[in-house]
Amino acid sequence: MIEYMSGAVKILPHYTYADWINWKGQWELIDGIPYAMSPMPVPKHQKIANALGGELYIALKNCKNCEAFQAIDYKIHDDTILQPDILVICQPVNKKFLDFPPALVVEILSPATALKDRHSKFQIYEEQQVKYYIIISPDKELGNCMYCNLRNYLHKKSLLFGGF
């Protein structure tokens, strides 16, 4: 990839799944650009993820098709691999990664990921037609649920998360 910055040419490397699988640590890859998934999430982030994951597990316990997962690799393209905080998947996963859109994705914002979650990942999930996308802001204890109407996301509902 070539970017032009103030008349100078800056060449960025373009990575793929073949590169990504050999990296140490946790990384996301968006359009060939790597993003480190560190530092580890803060305790409030983890508490929200655990509580919501538990609620989804209970809600889906008797569902024969759908299951809740925390942070698994979602390979969208050879140069785009994401690790959503929480997913609901309603089809069997037969590979080491998810290679089809989940029914629901939850991203819990942190200062390091908020911009990427609200913009880059929002656009990717929308293009992939992930039916529901929930973005949770731990600082505000507020979540926004978007619904994909087969073209773009519509704001469906705001959710309050308290007690964390």
Spatial CA neighbour of 143 closest among 129, 124, 162, 115 = 162
Please name the residue ranges forming H helices in 61-120. 114-115
Question: What is the per-residue pLDDT for 85?
Answer: 95
Give pLDDT, residue 5: 56
For residue 143, count CB atoms less than 10 angstroms from its CB and return exposed for 0-12, middle for 13-18, buried for 19 or more.
Answer: buried
Confidence at residue 10, expressed as pLDDT on a 0 to 100 scale: 64
Q: In this structure, are residues 78 and 71 in contact, taking their beta carbons and an 8 Å threshold? A: no
Q: For residue 153, count CB atoms less than 10 angstroms from its CB and return exposed for 0-12, middle for 13-18, buried for 19 or more.
A: buried
Using alpha carbons, list the distances in angstroms from residue 64 to 59, 91, 92.
12, 10, 11
**pLDDT for the residue numbered 7:** 57
Q: Which residues pair with 16 in a beta bridge?
A: none
Query: Would you state the pLDDT for residue 102?
Result: 98
> How high is the pLDDT of residue 161?
64
**What pLDDT does 152 receive?**
81
**Which candidate, 44, 94, 48, 39, places its Cα nearest to that of 70?**
48
Position 4 scores a pLDDT of: 55
Global pTM reads: 0.86
The whole-number mean pLDDT for each consecutive block of 10 residues of the chain, a chain of 164 residues, reads 57 92 94 86 87 94 94 96 96 95 95 90 95 92 86 77 60
**Residue 69: its pLDDT value, please?**
94
Question: pLDDT at position 158, please?
Answer: 79
Q: Give me the long-range contacts of 63-70 (CB less than 8 A, separation at least 24).
A: 65/90, 65/91, 66/90, 66/103
